[in-house]
Amino acid sequence: MSKDQNPELRRSVTPWGSFSWGYSDVGADIFVGLGLVLGAAAGASNVAFLFAGIVYVCIGLAYTELAATYPVAGGGQYFVLRGLGDIFGFIAGWAVLLDFTIDIALFAWSCVDYLSELLPILGSGPHPWAHFAVTIGLVVGLCTLNFIGVRESTAFNGFVSGLDIVSETAILTLGFLFAFSPDLLVHTMKTSWPTPFDLMKGISLAIVSFVGLESISQAAEETQRPASIIPRTSTALILTILIFALSYANLALGMHTWHPIPPDAHGHAQMLWQWLGNSDNNGKAVALIAKQVPYWGAVAAFYVPVLGAVLLLISSNSGVFGSSRIAYAMSKGGLLPSIFQSVHRRFRTPTVSLLVFSGVALVEVIFAALPSLSPRMADVYAKHFNGESGIDFLGDLYAFGAATSYSFVFVALVALRMTDPLSPRKFKIPFNIPFTFRGERVEFPLVAVVGFIGIVAILVFTMITHPIGRIAGPLWIVLGLILYFAYRKSRALPVFHSRKREWRVEQMEILRRAGELELMDEYVANVKASDERRMKEAV
């Protein structure tokens, strides 16, 4: 490589590495989302997870098709940029950046929550300063890890992801065998059904348990043979997470109830619901449930908090990775200043992007910690934000960012089906309506319509039920647009329109860099045949 040539991202992510990047993000979500949803939706928590799970499957299928067709580091931001134009691509990317910085902060925060099960001095309630200091230290450490390189991060994720899959399977298997009661499940759903407002809040929080598929597409530019690998890893991840989320929700409802019931119906006098509804405990729900499992719970009480903490740590790690890659891709696309695409010559990682957005995550940790660190700020939160805790604050923003970005991705999927039918799609969402558009044979994806309706509903629920999310979320978008307009104007770039791009040339280059030479040849053949047909029609 010459000294003047910009270094590129290294392709070092294997099939298991691709899966583990997604699992380290989505798989950890249930460790946080379960308690939040149970505290809001109560006896309808499984319904909330089911609604969000259906939307999640649609999202997963959309990302799988798009990431396999356009294997670049930008993920959803790039798909929206290509399908809808620069300004919409920026909004989608900026919303995803919010999610990934929240990812860093939220899961580092919850990592310390799980550790506090074994080390009470780290509890955010009794010892807020210790909790705060350790969370800050974790964010700084993960930024340093990602600065060294993605190969080291991927190896870390892969080991822990495999260990957690085994552990979660054990929790669910033993829980359903020895602690689950179908009668109690029905009883809890009947006696603890939430109000419509609480059910909407529960659904909006349930999407938190399914955020993270973006990580697989973020790693596409560093994945070996992405068009072949991503469909397999994404499909496996979709099924794994859906099964875990729905199983945990039903297991929790079938283990304990809001109201006392006769001992012969269940035999447990303790009311776990009171623990999960407490803001100091709802960030470690899986650990609380695991130690209630007969026979195995005594062992689980010691090791599940540690495993949960480690998985949450790698999920926070994937947030560091994802935010830096989105900023890198947005910079390459002319949506952010060129400094964000600076790659370290030795480690070949996007240094500036890593530092800036890890810094944003640190600011979010500070805001989340304010109610516990300052009685005065606690009064402000109680007065204006319904007394939300730090984890509630982060959860609000997480749900807003996910719903906003996913809404644009569904629209972009439809647009790209219409405007770019010539790109080979090694994986295609099922249930399509074929027709002719501008002389080309295209297929309209019905699943995208279902997913769009579902995610917009979740976005509406978020705006209705989250006092912080409906203020801070839109403010983040407005701030981003101000920066975007200022940057584009300073560079004499169109502000409300898109830069002219040679998408055909870019697509061939994308497939060449990905090592998908057969797909590149197929794309060239499709373009040539289309051009020849148009010339004949013109004559």
| Contact predicate 29/209, CB 8 Å | yes
Question: Cα separations (Å) of 153 from 21, 81, 243, 413?
Answer: 9, 28, 26, 30
The answer on pLDDT for 41 being more than 60 is yes
Instruction: Report the amino acid identity of residue 195.
Output: T
**pLDDT tens string 148-198:** 655 555 566 677 778 888 888 888 898 898 888 899 899 888 888 889 998
Q: What is the pLDDT of residues 298-326, one digit of tens each?
A: 788 888 888 888 888 878 887 887 788 78
Residue in the structure block whose two tokens are 């935010």 = 323
Token pair 């970005």 is found at 405
Residue pLDDT, tens place only, 233-267: 888 888 888 899 899 999 988 886 554 434 333 33
- From the number of C-beta atoms within 10 Å of its C-beta (0-12, 13-18, 19+), residue 12 rates as middle
Query: pLDDT-derived band of residue 13, with 50, 70 and 90 as boundaries?
Result: low
Kindly report the length of the chain: 539
SS3 92: helix
What six digits make up the tokens of 160?
A: 């822990």
pTM listed for this prediction: 0.83
CB neighbours (10 Å) of residue 320? 28
pLDDT tens digits along 383-414: 666 656 667 778 878 888 888 989 999 999 99
For residue 29, give Cα distances in angstroms to 39, 107, 489. Answer: 16, 8, 39
Neighbouring CB atoms inside 10 A of 63's CB total 25
CATH 1.20.1740.10 applies to domain 15-259+273-408+448-466: yes
Could you state, in order of their start, the residue ranges of all structural domains in the chain?
A: 15-259+273-408+448-466, 505-539
380's enclosing H/E stretch is helix 375-384
Residue pLDDT, tens place only, 46-90: 999 999 999 989 998 998 899 889 988 667 888 999 999 999 999
